Every structure is written in structure tokens, then in C-alpha cells.
Structure 1
Amino acid sequence: MTGIERLRDAIPDVARDIRLNLEAVLGAGSSLGPAQKWGVALACAASTRQPALIEAVLEDAKRESTPEVVDDALAAAALMAMNNVYYRFRHMVGKPSYTDKPARLRMNRLGKPATNKVDFELFCLAVSALNGCELCIQSHEKVVVDGGLTEDQVNDAIRLAATIQAAAISLELPKP
């Protein structure tokens, strides 16, 4: 039994749609390749901070992808935890004076991912969607589409991110 299968069994009946959606977004019908799918899933799971979810997705990501994908997914989660807060603030405060200030935040991994730039940016896009950072979403979406991914692939990545977030919440629901 895979980590995701065990995780699905732990999701309560009130969230049975999430169990079904996990199967669908991680299944064969996705336009994402295995590295993209597991990278997005792991980056988003790490961003939820839900231990059982992280463990299950990490187990399957290690089996279904490469150590480089796992590395990049975790790096994307960490970087977006910082960037999404910073850039969301700059956008929300709406003052040009903050936009003119240098970020002075190290983001070297964005330039030198272990896998490839487009997939790493896709992982960052999915996490940015979870974290609700409009500027980051727009920036990463442009890079992945300009890099050759389709809007269907972007859509599948965001569907996966949304389902991972819902799984994290579902695992924390009280038993009725």
C-alpha cells in the first residue's frame, strides 16, 4: 500500500470527496509528468505543515520520482514560505515606496534548481497559489508558460495543490 493510499484511508467520510480527488489528481489522467506531479504534491504537502500528509507524499515521491525532484520540491516550499509573505505584503500595502526597496532575500535556488527551471517554477507556482500571493502566482505562471508548459498543465498543478490543501485540512477534522 502506498503512502497516499494509507492517507486516503485516514480521511474521514465527511471528506470522501477529497479522498476521490486525491486519487484523480495523482492518477493517470493528469497532463503533468511524474516529476512535475510529485514535485508539486510534495512542495504543497510541505507547505501545509501537516505531518501525516508530508510523510505520505514524501514516501511516494521518493518512489515515483528522483532525489532531485524531492530536493527541489522541499526547496520550493521553503523559498515560497519566505517570498510569498514578503511579496504579498508589498502588493497588499500598495505603496510604491516598498516596491522600490530591494528585497535582500537570498533566492539562489531559483536560478540553479536540481531538476530544471520550469519544473522548479511550477512547484513554486503551486505553493504560491496555496499561500495566496498574487504577484508570485503571476510571475511563476508566466515563467512556466513561457518555458513551454501549457495552461492545462498549470491548471492540473493548481488542482493538485488545492486537493493537497484540502487533504491537510481533512486529516485534522474532528470525528463527528
Structure 2
Amino acid sequence: MAFVVPVTEAEAADKAAQAFTRIREVLQVDEVPELFRYLAVVPSFVHDFFMNFRKFVLTDGKLDERRKLLIAAAVAGQAGSGPWLEFLRSLAEARGVSAAEITDALAVGATNSMYNALFKFRDISGSDIFEGMPIGLRAHTFQSTSLSEDTVELINLALSDLNGCKPCTSAHVRKAREIG
């Protein structure tokens, strides 16, 4: 028996039912995607999660929706969440983001995570023995995609923070400020 099963729309009550209504409206779908139905096992969670998702990913602010969707896809890719990546890919493509841009965001994320592993290790090792060693990793991906420099930098910043790489996060904050 599954530990968590998705809540059907007929079973949804209170905050989950309200969230399902908003999800259908905002995403312009007839059925609530299964990912959100799993979250509805805790009704306040699906409500809060979708409100936050809408605010921070689907609403323009300092960053436009396209860039936010690319960052979200890169995060889902690095988290190894195939279902979320597929959902975000489908949503992004429906909103004008190309498959090539999504693939580029995933490539930037994978390249970034290699660097995060190295620099995080060097930072937490407690030894300066690794400081003089050449890095040896290649990062042509950062300059060779369809993505703008600032989008690449924001993907790197988000993933470096999530990966807990202090030196990389600091460097990406600095670079993002330089870019503007």
C-alpha cells in the first residue's frame, strides 16, 4: 500500500478544495495536476505551496516568469525530481519557453553542481592543502547556451545556495550584482 496517495478532487475539502480551484484557474487546466493532489494530503500544505509557487514562480516581479520557470526547472532537475521537472517543462513550454532553453538550464545546473561539490568540499575540509590544486573542471556550458548571462548566473546562484556551497553562493551573488 502506498504511504501517500493523491487526493481526488471529489475528496478535497476546505483549503485543499480552495487550492484546487485556484490551481485550475491559474494553470488554465481542467484537472488538477497529480503533483498538487499528493500535496493535498495535508490541505494547508497544498494551499500554502501553491500560493508560494504562484507568487514566486508564476508572478512577474524583479524577474519575469520565463526566467523563474527556467530556474525552477534547473532546481527540479538537480533535485532529481522527474515528476516536477516534467510538470515544469510542460508549463514552461505552454508559456513560450523553448525545449532548448529548458535543456540549457538543466545543463547549466549540472555543470554548476559539479563546481559546488568541489568548492564545498574545499571549504568544509578544514585544510588549505586543496587551495593550490588546479580545478580541472570545464565550464564552457555557462557561456555556450541560449540563455542570457544573467539567467545563467541566477540559476547558478539558486543551485549553489540549495547545494550549501558558501564560496560559490558568495561568488554568484557578487557576479549577479555586477551584471545588474
- TM over 0.5, shorter chain: yes
Q: Which amino acid aligns with 2:151?
A: D
Work out the CA distance in 1 between the residues paired with 2:137 and 2:53: 34
Q: Of the candidates 22, 38, 41, which is equivalent to residue 10 of structure 1? A: 38
Superposed CA deviations along residues 101-142 of structure 1, whole A, max 9, x for unmatched, are 111011111233322211111111111111111111111111
Question: 1:29: how far off?
Answer: 4.7
- 1:160 corresponds to which residue? none
1:2-81 to structure 2, matched below 5 A, reads: 2=27, 6=33, 7-14=35-42, 15-16=45-46, 17-64=48-95, 65-81=97-113
Structure 1 residue runs of 5 or longer lacking an equivalent are 149-176
Describe the shift of the 1:23–1:34 C-alpha distance in structure 2 as closer, same or farther (beyond 3 A): closer
- 2:20 corresponds to which residue? none
- Verify the 8 A CA contact 1:39 1:72 in the aligned structure 2: no
1:77-96 to structure 2, matched below 5 A, reads: 77-96=109-128
Describe the shift of the 1:23–1:13 C-alpha distance in structure 2 as closer, same or farther (beyond 3 A): farther
Describe the shift of the 1:25–1:9 C-alpha distance in structure 2 as closer, same or farther (beyond 3 A): farther
Work out the CA distance in 2 between the residues paired with 1:29 and 1:121: 18
- 2:154 corresponds to which residue? 122
> Greater helix percent: which structure?
1
Q: Of the candidates 134, 148, 168, which is equivalent to residue 136 of structure 1? A: 168
Question: 1:92: how far off?
Answer: 0.6
Looking at CA atoms only, which structure, 1 or 2, has the larger radius of gyration?
2
Runs of 4+ in 1 over 6 A off after TM superposition: none
Describe the shift of the 1:90–1:55 C-alpha distance in structure 2 as closer, same or farther (beyond 3 A): same
Of 58-67 and 90-99, the range deviating more from structure 2: 58-67
Question: 1:42: how far off?
Answer: 0.6
Work out the CA distance in 2 between the residues paired with 1:128 and 1:51: 20
- Verify the 8 A CA contact 1:11 1:19 in the aligned structure 2: no
Tell me the percent identity: 24
**SS of alignment partner, residue 103 of structure 1:** coil
Q: For this pair of structures, how many residues does the alignment match?
A: 147
Question: 1:8: how far off?
Answer: 2.5
- 2:137 corresponds to which residue? 105
Of 122-131 and 56-65, the range deviating more from structure 2: 56-65
